[in-house]
Amino acid sequence: MALDTQSQMFIEAMRSAGMLPLRDLGVDGCRRMTEQQASLAKGSEAGSAEDRTTGDPSNVPIRLYRPADVRDPLPVVVYFHGGGWVMGGIESHDDSCRHLSALSGCLVASVDYRLAPEHPFPAAIDDAWAATRWVMDHAGDLGGDPRLVAVAGDSAGGNLAGAVARLARDDDRVLAFQLLIYPVIDRRLDRPSMVRANTDHMIERDDMDWFWRLYDPDGIAAADPRAALTAEGDLSGLPPALVITAEHDPLRDEGEEYGERLQRAGVTVTVHRYPGVFHGFYAMRGLLDAATAAADEAAAALRAAFALAAED
């Protein structure tokens, strides 16, 4: 189907304002755009937020969100923001993380990993993995339940969440769930949804090529499972997953393919494609009805996964 009316109006407004295609804005322009959009985000439910770092040696900045009127210990979600590994941060995803904390009743730790091109691969995944280990090791001190920890992320952050899930498995650490929102899976740019990406899309194939070249200028990540989630065949033993995709998204096919590969490996997975919307829709709560529905689905999936894990 075509873009729904709300999505079409948003894309047209972005193009009219000269904010698309993203690659034409350059790194600084993309970062300014992200900051401007963050300032317009819908205010979320009351709760508390605390900025801190993970401590030596990684010292990764994080923001902890706690829902109001919920007793400790809380299940924990470690969240990695999107932005092509190039833009975004704690502020750009403040509303989404605050809302996720309120809806799910979880402690959400938003990770401010280093960005490319100043810090190319593997800086982002090094920070993501270091922050996750630290949160898992210190969950009790933070008011969280160390037995109930999940990872989550959107776009490039979904890529980091998927990679961290595998690193945790290989390190004999148990995660309860992985929430992958239109995740980047690998550096292939030849799947049908990627090839067909056009001006109806928030990001285009050439944008993804640009992001990958900034993140991985030397081309070393294409065969590295810390960046390419398809680079390693064994997906067994990974935590249950919800993979959210968008119909008008060049990343749609790779996200759905990854969900199918997880299922074939015996992982419990739900893959849900949202029709009529574009890459990035999840953050558009208040503008797109689908964003509200996706946030509700994500929170419900987390609650269910944590309830199941608590029984074990």
Per-residue pLDDT of 201-241, as tens digits, reads 899 999 999 999 999 999 999 999 999 999 988 999 999 99
CA 256/CA 251 separation, integer angstroms: 9
Residue range 154-186, pLDDT digits in tens: 999 999 999 999 999 999 999 999 999 999 999
| Count of CA atoms in the C-beta half-sphere (13 A) of 82 | 22
Residue range 289-299, pLDDT digits in tens: 999 999 999 99
Residues near 112 by Cβ (< 8 Å), separated by ≥ 6?
A: 60, 61, 62, 63, 89, 90
Region 61-80: what's the mean pLDDT? Answer: 94
Whether residue 46 is predicted with pLDDT greater than 80 in this model: the reply is: no
CA 55/CA 61 separation, integer angstroms: 9
Nearest to 151 by CA among 237, 241, 274: 241
Q: Span 5-311: which CATH code?
A: 3.40.50.1820
How would residue 55 be classed by pLDDT, with cut points 50, 70 and 90?
Answer: confident
Whether residue 67 is predicted with pLDDT greater than 90 in this model: the reply is: yes
Task: Output the pLDDT for position 71.
Answer: 82
Q: Which amino acid is at 268?
A: T
Structure tokens at 162: 């998927």
pTM here is 0.97
Task: Output the pLDDT for position 260.
Answer: 98
Query: Which segments of the chain does DSSP mark as H helices, in order?
Result: 5-16, 22-39, 94-104, 123-138, 156-170, 192-195, 205-215, 252-264, 289-311
Q: Which residues are catalytic?
A: 155, 249, 279
Mean pLDDT lowest for which of 107-121, 132-146, 195-209?
195-209
For the chain, how far is it from start to end, CA to CA, in angstroms?
42
